[in-house]
Chains A and B, each alone.
Chain A
Amino acid sequence: MSPITRSMVLWVPDWPILASLRIEPLRGEPLASGATDVPLALIEKGLVFACSAAARIEGVQRGLRIREAQARCTDLVVRPYEQQLDSRTFETVITAIEELMPGVQLVRPGIAAVRSRGPARYYGGEQPAGLALVALLEGLGIPGARVGIADGPFTAEQAARTATSAHRVRVVPEGASADFLGNLSISLLEDPALITLLRRLGISTLGDFAALPAADVLGRFGPDGAHLHALAGGLDSRPIVAHQPPDELDLVVAFEPPLDRVDQVTFGVRASADDFVQQLVAKKLVCTTLRVEIETELGDYSERSWLHPRSFTASDVVDRVRWQLQGSGEVDSGLRSSGFKSGVSAVRIVPEAVDAIGNHEVGLFGAGPDERIHNGLARVQSMLGHEGVLTPVVSGGRTLADRQKTVPWGDRPLLPRSNRLPWPGQLPLPLPATIFAAPHPVFVYGADGTETQIDERGRFSSAPARFSPATGKDSRQITAWAGPWPISERWWDAEAALDASRFQVVDDRGVAWLLVLTRRATGSSWAAEARYD
């Protein structure tokens, strides 16, 4: 068995509450006041996950339903619990501790562990080391932190939890863990099933549990039970694993003075983009999704994720930066025409998704003609912008416009609807070869010269005999027609609702058209959507 590590554990009471207040302070209440005088509860899945001291005084507890918590404390402020926010804000605390003493382990947000041997020697004792940690957190604006120092992280954590606000550092002397833990409740072991069983066996303190023979506990409760038994006896053999800072793969290019031309910025990024890709390659990774963040002098901020069908090369990275700068503006112009009000002060490139390089290896004889085509089309994209070159995909849907989608070259298609589903109500084959980008309004007349209308049951006022564009010129006789084919979609959504009737008509010159009568709240109108030519 490995020797027990003398550990120092930092505990910040009500960390979720503090984290929530640090990100978003309550209205009218300064951050520095500790925020303990406002009843606040964080809710997860309809139950109270954490609550502030003020709420606890009013009787709010962890595990209550929202309704009941609000009944007990009528001015309770309720917020949803966000675990990422917890972890993210605690990251700053971890970084600060690391500057003071190395080798910090993040146990969970709110609790961090350090080996106490080094700091104790540096500060001349365990008590001063603990006080240094508390003072550090006070400096960060986090009041009420407690520190426990004992053999093993479990005992040290319990020591921290039993520290009082007057004596914020509690030291359990070496070898005294079993005595310290002996009187504590069995419920501190985080295994509800085992706790229930032990209580029914008449064991209510950690000391009682630790008194059981270790071999019997192993035989009855298995390795997990044996581990908890060791914890209860103060024999926590877990080592403290130092927190590994994540690899820094971001690329940040700062411009001083700020640049206000697209080509200058892209030229500045070009050299660093090579390093960015090389750095990934050195870690045997390639980037498949990229986020480009652009900051300007006046604090404007532009952020966008870019997908790549394969993986980003250095020139691809530079292209993405250029396209984001150009936006919808003219090519090779200054930044002002593309929505930026001041010069660019920094560009940050973050790899959002990376993949092992082995999955993206180019074949022995190269990737064939695709590479050449990709380069050629990227050149056209640099002339027209990223949205200028498109690849077509067939999506799911009933109307012609729904079914055909385009994706900018170089992006992966993300289809909201599957084209594998049957989609009843589609047009019969053959499909029209010309689909107007914007439907042309037309008038359709019956044989008697009045405009053709259809009621909600699909009955005609008069059969269509003639139609003309909305300008009135170029009127055409209808020689054959079919329809109406009604389509009624998404009536529950006023924005996306569609109630229309479709017709195929053939005019006297042999051209066939798809005419659509759309009914809206303001009235119905005819339009030519497509041409069979």
Chain B
Amino acid sequence: MFEYGSMTLAAATLPEMQDEEIALAAAPADSATIIDDLQQRIRSMQATKLDSRLLPTHPALAELLPGGGLKQGAMYSVEPTGTGYGATLLLALLAGPSAAGSWCGIVGVPEFGIEAAASFGIDLDRLILVPAPGDQWLAVTAAIADVLTVVVIKPPRQASEGNLARLAARLRQRGSTLIVVGSHSAWSQSEAMLSLSQSSWSGIGDGAGHLTARQVTVTVSTRTGGRPRSARLWLPDPELQFVRVEAPPTHLRAVG
């Protein structure tokens, strides 16, 4: 029902776009910003028009993501911040599809922690690593996305918009989900950007104990604007699960 509504919205805005194109012809000096603006609007309409199916996503993250889970054929970015590079968050994103029987591919991440992945419920029998794709990373990613359901890529550098648009089209056609990590992960085609902040570890003291669990705030911002959603998650909790941090119960006291 929601999608039907947005389609009528798209049809309604079409004449407006033509008006803007006329305006673009009239004032070439400001054309770059107008093109950007138009592309932004085209993308926002494309996203809602797609008949997108959801991958089985870990429930702790599903409620944060736009649309309620990882969409097939979409791109997601996990951005490094000062408080974390998001490797565990990446494992949490992969855990859902992998446990449901999907194949996952990791391209360009030689430092991927294999045993950690296994301990968080990723099936190693359905995991493929391409640690050194070299200069052909875009071609390799596209080839792997043809056959695997979820592909993780750490781009060694920024790719051109044209190449990324082609890759995005291929993903939509094949229904594969791409997760971009690393310092060049801010791709404009991304459905959502995930990042970490305010990480706090427990179980470890001053020369005693060991790391057992971590609470961290996961923030998801979407490219279509809107307020970023964030939540405090255990990543992982002491039983190696990913769960939302329960707010401490409010004790009500009878007064009067």
Q: List the interface of chain A (C-beta within 8 A of B).
A: 369, 372-373, 375-377, 379-380, 383-384, 388-394, 400, 403-404, 406, 409, 428-437, 463, 480-483, 504, 506, 509-512, 530-533
Contact A531 B144 (CB under 8 A): no
In the bound complex, CA of A430 to CA of B119 (Å): 8
A510: chain B residues within 8 A (beta carbon):
83-84, 198-201, 216
A-B contact count (CB 8 A): 158
Nearest 7 CB-CB pairings of A with B: A510-B199, A376-B147, A433-B87, A404-B114, A431-B116, A392-B114, A437-B110
Q: Whole-angstrom distance from the CB of B118 to the nearest CB of chain A?
A: 6
**Contact pattern, B 98-134, Cβ under 8 Å of A = 1, otherwise 0:** 0000010000001111111111100011011111111
Contact A431 B113 (CB under 8 A): yes
Contact B91 A383 (CB under 8 A): no
A394: chain B residues within 8 A (beta carbon):
114-115, 118, 124
A431: chain B residues within 8 A (beta carbon):
113, 115-116, 119
A379: chain B residues within 8 A (beta carbon):
143
In the bound complex, CA of A279 to CA of B43 (Å): 56
Given A389-B130, A391-B127, A533-B88, residue A504 in contact with residue B211 (CB < 8 A): yes
Q: Whole-angstrom distance from the CB of B162 to the nearest CB of chain A?
A: 21
In the bound complex, CA of A532 to CA of B210 (Å): 12
User: What are 18 of the A-B contact pairs (CB < 8 Å)?
Assistant: A400-B113, A400-B115, A428-B211, A430-B116, A431-B113, A431-B116, A433-B113, A434-B85, A434-B112, A435-B114, A437-B110, A480-B201, A482-B204, A483-B207, A510-B84, A511-B85, A512-B211, A531-B85
Q: Is B90 an interface residue (CB 8 A)?
A: yes
Contact A391 B128 (CB under 8 A): yes
B148: chain A residues within 8 A (beta carbon):
373, 376
Contact B83 A430 (CB under 8 A): no
Q: Whole-angstrom distance from the CB of B153 to the nearest CB of chain A?
A: 13
A509: chain B residues within 8 A (beta carbon):
82-83, 199
A409: chain B residues within 8 A (beta carbon):
128
Q: Is B236 an interface residue (CB 8 A)?
A: yes
Q: Is B240 an interface residue (CB 8 A)?
A: yes
Q: Whole-angstrom distance from the CB of A371 to the nearest CB of chain B?
A: 10
Main secondary structure of the interface of B (DSSP, over half): mixed
**Contact pattern, B 132-151, Cβ under 8 Å of A = 1, otherwise 0:** 11101001100110111000
Contact A435 B206 (CB under 8 A): no
Q: Whole-angstrom distance from the CB of B220 to the nearest CB of chain A?
A: 18
Interface size on B, residues (CB 8 A): 58
Contact A377 B115 (CB under 8 A): no
Contact B83 A435 (CB under 8 A): no
**Contact pattern, B 175-213, Cβ under 8 Å of A = 1, otherwise 0:** 000000000000000000000101111001111111111
Contact B205 A482 (CB under 8 A): yes
With A383-B140, A392-B124, A428-B211 already in contact, 9 other A-B pairs whose C-beta atoms are closer than 8 Å: A377-B144, A389-B130, A390-B129, A406-B114, A431-B113, A433-B113, A435-B112, A436-B111, A504-B211
Given A373-B147, A376-B147, A482-B208, residue A512 in contact with residue B140 (CB < 8 A): no
Q: Whole-angstrom distance from the CB of B88 to the nearest CB of chain A?
A: 5
* Most A Cβ at <10 Å: residue of B90, B148, B210: B210
Q: Is B86 an interface residue (CB 8 A)?
A: yes
Q: Is B214 an interface residue (CB 8 A)?
A: yes
Q: Whole-angstrom distance from the CB of A370 to the nearest CB of chain B?
A: 9
Contact B210 A428 (CB under 8 A): yes
Q: Whole-angstrom distance from the CB of A528 to the nearest CB of chain B?
A: 11
Given A392-B129, A430-B236, residue A482 in contact with residue B114 (CB < 8 A): no
B133: chain A residues within 8 A (beta carbon):
384, 388
In the bound complex, CA of A336 to CA of B101 (Å): 44
B214: chain A residues within 8 A (beta carbon):
512, 532
Given A400-B115, A404-B114, A431-B119, residue A388 in contact with residue B88 (CB < 8 A): no
* Most A Cβ at <10 Å: residue of B82, B113, B130, B207: B113
Q: Which of B90, B143, B198, B204 contacts A506 (CB 8 A)?
A: B204
Contact B103 A373 (CB under 8 A): yes
Contact A390 B85 (CB under 8 A): no
Contact A429 B119 (CB under 8 A): yes
B146: chain A residues within 8 A (beta carbon):
376
Contact A530 B113 (CB under 8 A): yes
A481: chain B residues within 8 A (beta carbon):
204, 206-207
Contact B113 A435 (CB under 8 A): yes
Q: Whole-angstrom distance from the CB of A438 to the nearest CB of chain B?
A: 9
In the bound complex, CA of A403 to CA of B128 (Å): 17
B204: chain A residues within 8 A (beta carbon):
480-482, 504, 506, 512
Given A377-B147, A391-B128, A394-B124, residue A437 in contact with residue B111 (CB < 8 A): yes
| Smallest Cβ-Cβ distance to A532: which chain B residue | B211
A369: chain B residues within 8 A (beta carbon):
103
In the bound complex, CA of A506 to CA of B110 (Å): 23
Contact B113 A506 (CB under 8 A): no
In the bound complex, CA of A287 to CA of B70 (Å): 42
A511: chain B residues within 8 A (beta carbon):
83-85, 199
Contact A434 B113 (CB under 8 A): yes
Contact B236 A380 (CB under 8 A): no
Contact B210 A533 (CB under 8 A): no
Contact A531 B143 (CB under 8 A): no
Q: Whole-angstrom distance from the CB of A301 to the nearest CB of chain B?
A: 29
| Smallest Cβ-Cβ distance to B85: which chain A residue | A533
Q: Whole-angstrom distance from the CB of B199 to the nearest CB of chain A?
A: 3
In the bound complex, CA of A509 to CA of B81 (Å): 10
B205: chain A residues within 8 A (beta carbon):
480, 482
Contact A433 B90 (CB under 8 A): yes
In the bound complex, CA of A344 to CA of B204 (Å): 61
Q: Whole-angstrom distance from the CB of A279 to the nearest CB of chain B?
A: 31
Q: Whole-angstrom distance from the CB of B217 to the nearest CB of chain A?
A: 10
Contact A389 B128 (CB under 8 A): yes
Given A480-B206, A482-B204, residue A391 in contact with residue B136 (CB < 8 A): no
B209: chain A residues within 8 A (beta carbon):
482
Q: Whole-angstrom distance from the CB of A530 to the nearest CB of chain B?
A: 7
B114: chain A residues within 8 A (beta carbon):
392-394, 404, 406, 435
Q: Which of A388, A504, A512 contacts B132 (CB 8 A)?
A: A388
| Smallest Cβ-Cβ distance to B81: which chain A residue | A509
Q: Whole-angstrom distance from the CB of A307 to the nearest CB of chain B?
A: 17
In the bound complex, CA of A443 to CA of B175 (Å): 47
| Smallest Cβ-Cβ distance to A463: which chain B residue | B207
Q: Which of B86, B124, B134, B240 contacts A533 (CB 8 A)?
A: B86
Contact B124 A482 (CB under 8 A): no
B201: chain A residues within 8 A (beta carbon):
480, 506, 510, 512, 532
